[in-house]
């Protein structure tokens, strides 16, 4: 029953949630910023979705196979979205080292949004208030790694 509740919530939420590909007409860093801004705005409008996901994934039914499968699929989808958003910045031409780095950043990005769910619930701080610092981190990393393509960051 929890898995089906989460599944329904996922379907409703993802109808409104932006895909990184929605911003493909932008330069990579701007594309990332626009996607993350839109994603945080969606979470601000529907904070109960991520709260439900986190509550179910650590709750008493977390070990039930249907719950695990649903949570894993949702987390994999989120991870893939982060990878899709970050790849044009850090691995526009591919590369194993860059792919590993992107994967690490995707895990960090997903952890940031998970943690912001708690901050949002307990402190009332909106997700979107944390867009700037995380985007600055990504911009700084892109510049440090030479992926800014000579543009001012």
Q: Which residues contact 79 (CB under 8 A, 6 or more apart)?
A: 106, 107, 110
150 inside domain: no
**According to the model, what pLDDT value does residue 138 have?**
96
10 inside domain: yes
Q: What is the pLDDT along the chain (153 residues), one digit of tens a residue?
A: 666 777 777 777 777 788 999 999 999 999 999 999 999 999 898 888 888 888 888 888 889 888 888 889 888 999 999 999 999 999 887 777 788 999 999 999 999 998 888 888 889 889 999 999 999 999 999 999 886 654 443
15 inside domain: yes
Domain containing 132: what range? 2-20+27-144
CATH code of the domain containing 89: 1.10.357.10
**According to the model, what pLDDT value does residue 153 have?**
38
13 inside domain: yes
149 inside domain: no
58 inside domain: yes
**According to the model, what pLDDT value does residue 118 have?**
85
**According to the model, what pLDDT value does residue 1 have?**
67
152 inside domain: no
11 inside domain: yes
In the chain, the largest separation of any two C-alpha atoms, in whole Å, equals 52
**According to the model, what pLDDT value does residue 66 have?**
85
**According to the model, what pLDDT value does residue 142 have?**
94
**According to the model, what pLDDT value does residue 13 have?**
74
CA atoms of 98 and 81, how far apart (whole Å): 16
**According to the model, what pLDDT value does residue 151 have?**
44
Q: How many domains does the chain have?
A: 1
């Amino acid at each position: 029953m929890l898995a089906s509740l989460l599944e329904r919530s996922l379907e409703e939420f993802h109808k409104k949630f932006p895909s990184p590909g929605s911003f493909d007409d932008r330069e990579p860093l701007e594309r990332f910023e626009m996607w993350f801004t839109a994603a945080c705005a969606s979470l601000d409008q529907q904070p109960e979705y991520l709260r439900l996901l986190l509550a179910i994934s650590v709750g008493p039914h977390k070990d039930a196979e249907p719950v695990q499968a649903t949570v894993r699929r949702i987390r994999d989808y989120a991870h893939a979205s982060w990878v899709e958003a970050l790849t044009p910045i850090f691995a526009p031409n591919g590369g194993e080292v860059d792919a590993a780095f992107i994967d690490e950043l995707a895990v960090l990005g997903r952890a940031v949004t998970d943690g912001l769910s708690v901050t949002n619930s307990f402190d009332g701080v909106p997700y979107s208030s944390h867009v700037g610092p995380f985007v600055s981190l990504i911009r700084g990393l892109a510049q440090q790694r030479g992926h800014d393509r000579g543009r001012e960051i």
